[in-house]
Amino acid sequence: MRVKAYILFILMSCVILGGCKRGIDSELQTTGQSENKRVYQNLVVGFSQLGAESKWRDGNTASIKKTAESLGLELIFSDAQQKQENQIKAIRTFIAQQVDVIGVSPIVETGWESVFQEAKDAGIPIILVDRRADVPEELYATYIGSDFTEEGRKAARVMAELLGGKGNIVELVGTINSAPANDRYIGFREILQDYPEMKIIASESADFTRAKGEEVMRGFLEQYGDQIDALYAHNDDSALGAIRAIEDYGLQPGQDIIIVSVDAIRDAFQAMIDGKLNATVECNPLLGPLFFETALKVVNGEYVPKWIPSQESIFFPENAAEILPTRKY
């Protein structure tokens, strides 16, 4: 009898202690103390967004803010309003605030080395989101975003197909010295080398905006008028601005002037449905989930590759109406 009671006592102690241990473990998980691993709830992230120049950018900002909210982490968000000096200031403020990670979408490629070095010296990792910066690899943890050169190549291949390998092209370049403008410019020309009868007759920056796209296209039309066979726009917003200029000029966008652009925003799908845009090469702005997942890994010392590329496709008018309702930006 005494032996039975003893065994029962031992068993009950195990159950109670086990329960307590599980309780402590789950408490540590949420407070992030288990094996010193950090969790979203105690992560502080600074994010320097470059501005709000396009619908693509709006989608990108929304993805970052909404994901931060749903994960329950602290996000300190700063909008640089298209100025590199504002981004540099924001990064310095994040360093002073001792955030855990800094995310940055650099407006231009150059001029980041010293501020990134300051972050490194303070032990704060930098994650490049959407745009690359021209700095040594040891100054950032990873780059999450697109292969902009490939986007330029894709646009050129589609354009070659649509033009039958022959025609005069005008180009609306993105923000001068930005990674997407530099790379989309290069990628497009790379493919054009195989098409000697496809010529770029004018190329100017439209700064990734609708207003500039319209203004620059008006200039192209004044100068070249009917000689223009096609437009390559580095983003949909500038193409949509150009479409207004083409219509005002009395030509039919998508027919008299073939148009290929980049991004695949919802408005581009509508333009394809309306017959005014011939193709859009996708560039994915919905980087929030991947960014925070990567940020947590970096803070916890886990391996991340130097580049986490986005998966992207190309869209055409044929199935634009079917796809539009599924588009999130």
Which residues form the interface with ligand AHR (CB under 6 A)? Answer: 53-54, 56-57, 130-131, 180, 208, 235, 237, 262-263, 283
In degrees and rounded to multiples of 5, residue 198 shows phi and psi of -100, 120
Tokens matching residue 200: 């770029």
Cβ closest to ligand AHR, residue 173 vs residue 257: 173
Beta partners for residue 103, in sequence order: 47, 127
Cβ closest to ligand AHR, residue 171 vs residue 237: 237
Exposure b/e, 27-66, CB count within 10 A at least 16 = b: eeeeebeeeeebbbeebebbbbbbbebbbbbebbbebbee
Q: How far is the CB of 151 from ligand AHR (least distance, A)?
A: 8
Cβ closest to ligand AHR, residue 191 vs residue 283: 283
Contact in structure between 145 and 109 (CB atoms under 8 Å)? no
Q: How far is the CB of 230 from ligand AHR (least distance, A)?
A: 19
Cβ closest to ligand AHR, residue 68 vs residue 281: 281
State how far the Cα of 294 lies from the Cα of 305, in Å rounded to an integer. Answer: 10
Q: How far is the CB of 147 from ligand AHR (least distance, A)?
A: 12
Q: How far is the CB of 207 from ligand AHR (least distance, A)?
A: 9
- What H or E segment, with its residue span, contains residue 315? strand 314-315
State how far the Cα of 103 lies from the Cα of 91, in Å rounded to an integer. Answer: 9
Q: How far is the CB of 145 from ligand AHR (least distance, A)?
A: 7
Give 62's contacts (C-beta < 8 A, 6+ positions apart).
329
Cβ closest to ligand AHR, residue 56 vs residue 116: 56
Q: How far is the CB of 263 from ligand AHR (least distance, A)?
A: 5
Q: How far is the CB of 148 from ligand AHR (least distance, A)?
A: 8
**Neighbouring C-alpha atoms within 13 Å toward the C-beta of 225:** 3
Cβ closest to ligand AHR, residue 229 vs residue 237: 237
State how far the Cα of 319 lies from the Cα of 302, in Å rounded to an integer. Answer: 41
Cβ closest to ligand AHR, residue 40 vs residue 47: 47
Cβ closest to ligand AHR, residue 130 vs residue 229: 130
Mutual angle of helices 113-121 and 84-96, in 10-degree steps: 10
- For strands 279-282 and 314-315, give the pairing: antiparallel
Contact in structure between 283 and 60 (CB atoms under 8 Å)? no
Report the SS3 class of residue 134: coil
Length, in residues, of the chain: 329
**Neighbouring C-alpha atoms within 13 Å toward the C-beta of 65:** 11
Q: How far is the CB of 87 from ligand AHR (least distance, A)?
A: 14
